[in-house]
């Protein structure tokens, strides 16, 4: 694998959504492990993981099993998207034009942008609470602004700096969370640590779904962080380093949240429970999590900005976005999120989780279509020039096969949904378990393969003479 460009790669990223040429490729595939391991040890996954015992009333053993199953299953999809990055050399969302067409991809790009803006806003709320927990004299709103500014600076500098910070964070946070586990298990403050809660099928399925959806939520931007790797890296290497880093890091964070709330009295806020459960090292843990959430949140800002640039560039196709454009849009998003987060209700994060569950209903079929198209239909070979053309080039403005499979993929999930907006009849029948994501994947994948295969001869004729990039 060639890494000759590594030493000459600029600290401030110059590319935005454009193709990364071979001479600008740099980095090592192992960087993906540290990115996704360090990035997932953060307050938001800790809070989310605690829901298995707080909200769904599982005991520790069944909560851990559900968390592991969810992350191991969802991580497969997430890592398959990551493996596309070195092959394509472009961000994930703009690549969707090859499946849906230049205009057909707009809905998914918009949804991804909204979701990551929501992630960013939620994380700066957690950053504000963490900073306030460390230094009482710092009000939560001030902490929110400080957290947002820190993430903003990292996101504006871009790709390489994000990787550097997470290489450091993997060691610091990895050691920190192991020490945290050790302290909690030797200072348990409750008598029902192992007996609180019990197995219930709906709660177990709901926790599995929550963990799996956590991984799937990364799908719209995971390959953004592998696209600078040299094109000759093995697909299997990209897959496994991403998969192991993300599944291990997020599982540890989820389980840490569950352990912390079980080791403290019932009804405590998760981060308060973490502070109490870790006792004398609690302030240190909060500092580590504060630094983690600031660093990790840069990914959400970065992904949201790339999605917004993709939306604008669809119509302003002559516009060539630069690092300056990315910085300006980053600042606009940052200011808007600070305003929303400071004025938000105390249950902001709870409302955000509800929103993500709704948005993922429309992202799951996209995941299925994107992966089937990349691995089974086109086998990693795409015409990059067409992807950036206003009319979609050989991919057109709309792809009827993809849009039909996408619509059906959303529709079949409705009976299985369990969101604040709607509870489907089948979900209600199985005590509220949300299996919509699984149904969406199982229906959309073969349906799109069948529809696209029928059209494959036409696609091959159109691809004759096109400049293809990537191969499996």
pLDDT tens digits, 287-339: 888 888 888 788 888 888 888 888 888 887 777 777 788 888 888 888 888 88
> What distances in angstroms separate CA 321 from CA 18, 105, 112, one per listed residue?
8, 19, 19
pLDDT for the residue 368: 95
What is the reported pTM? 0.86
**Count of CB atoms within 10 A of residue 389's CB?**
16
The domains found in the chain, sorted by start residue, are 26-347 (1.10.4160.10)
Residue pair 370/100 in contact by the 8 Å Cβ criterion = no
pLDDT tens digits, 377-423: 988 889 888 888 888 888 889 899 999 999 999 999 999 887 777 78
Residue pair 63/53 in contact by the 8 Å Cβ criterion = yes
**Count of CB atoms within 10 A of residue 462's CB?**
15
| Mean residue pLDDT across the chain | 84
281 has a pLDDT exceeding 60:
yes
Give the 3-state secondary structure percentages of the chain, helix then strand then coil, rounded to 5.
70, 0, 30
Query: Quick one: CA torsion of 395, 400, 401, 405, rounded to 10 degrees?
Result: 130
pLDDT tens digits, 423-435: 888 887 777 777 8
**In terms of DSSP H, where are the helices of 83-105?**
84-88, 92-95, 97-100
pLDDT for the residue 76: 96
**In terms of DSSP H, where are the helices of 187-223?**
201-216
CA atoms within 13 A on the CB side of 410: 14
Q: SS3 string of 247-292?
A: HHHHHHHHHHHHHHHHCCCCCCCHHHHHHHHCHHHHHHHHHHHHHH
Q: Tokens 């957690």 correspond to what residue?
A: 126
d(CA 334, CA 328): 10
Nearest in space to 104 (alpha carbons), one of 406, 448, 450, 468: 406
């Amino acid at each position: 694998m060639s890494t000759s460009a590594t030493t000459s790669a600029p600290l401030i990223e110059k590319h935005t959504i454009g193709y990364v040429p071979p001479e600008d490729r740099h980095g090592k595939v192992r960087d993906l492990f540290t990115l996704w391991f360090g990035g997932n040890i953060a307050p938001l996954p800790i809070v989310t993981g605690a829901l298995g015992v707080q909200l769904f009333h599982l005991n520790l053993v069944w909560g851990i099993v559900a968390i592991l199953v969810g992350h191991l299953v969802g991580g497969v999809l997430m890592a398959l998207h990551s493996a596309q990055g070195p092959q394509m050399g472009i961000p994930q969302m703009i690549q969707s034009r090859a499946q849906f067409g230049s205009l057909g991809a707009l809905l998914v790009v918009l949804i991804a942008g909204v979701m990551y803006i929501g992630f960013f806003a939620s994380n700066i709320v957690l950053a504000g609470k963490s900073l306030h927990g460390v230094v009482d004299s710092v009000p939560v709103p001030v902490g929110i602004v400080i957290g947002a500014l820190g993430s903003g600076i990292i996101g504006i500098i871009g790709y390489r700096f994000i990787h550097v910070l997470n290489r450091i964070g993997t060691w610091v946070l990895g050691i920190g969370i192991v020490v945290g586990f050790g302290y909690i298990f030797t200072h348990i403050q409750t008598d029902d640590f192992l007996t609180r809660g019990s197995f219930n099928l709906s709660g177990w399925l709901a926790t599995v779904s929550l963990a799996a959806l956590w991984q799937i939520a990364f799908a719209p931007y995971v390959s953004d962080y592998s696209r600078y790797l040299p094109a000759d890296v093995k697909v299997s290497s990209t897959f496994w380093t991403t998969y192991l880093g993300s599944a291990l890091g997020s599982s540890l964070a989820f389980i840490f949240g569950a352990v912390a709330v079980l080791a403290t009295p019932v009804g405590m806020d998760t981060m308060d429970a973490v502070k109490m459960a870790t006792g004398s090292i609690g302030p240190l843990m909060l500092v580590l999590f504060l630094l983690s959430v600031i660093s990790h949140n840069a990914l959400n800002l970065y992904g949201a900005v790339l999605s917004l640039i993709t939306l604008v560039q669809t119509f302003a196709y002559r516009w060539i976005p630069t690092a300056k454009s990315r910085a300006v849009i980053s600042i606009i998003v940052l200011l808007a999120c600070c305003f929303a987060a400071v004025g938000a209700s105390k249950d902001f994060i709870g409302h955000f989780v509800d929103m993500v569950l709704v948005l993922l209903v429309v992202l799951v079929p996209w995941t299925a279509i994107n992966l089937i198209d990349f691995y089974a239909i086109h086998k990693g070979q795409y015409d990059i020039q067409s992807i950036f053309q206003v009319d979609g080039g050989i991919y057109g403005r709309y792809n009827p096969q993809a849009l039909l499979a996408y619509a059906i993929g959303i529709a079949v999930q409705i009976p299985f949904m369990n969101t604040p907006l709607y509870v489907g009849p089948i979900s209600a029948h199985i005590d509220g378990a949300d299996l919509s994501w699984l149904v969406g994947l199982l229906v959309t994948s073969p349906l799109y393969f069948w529809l696209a295969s029928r059209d494959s001869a036409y696609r091959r004729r159109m691809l004759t003479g096109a400049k293809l990039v990537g191969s499996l």
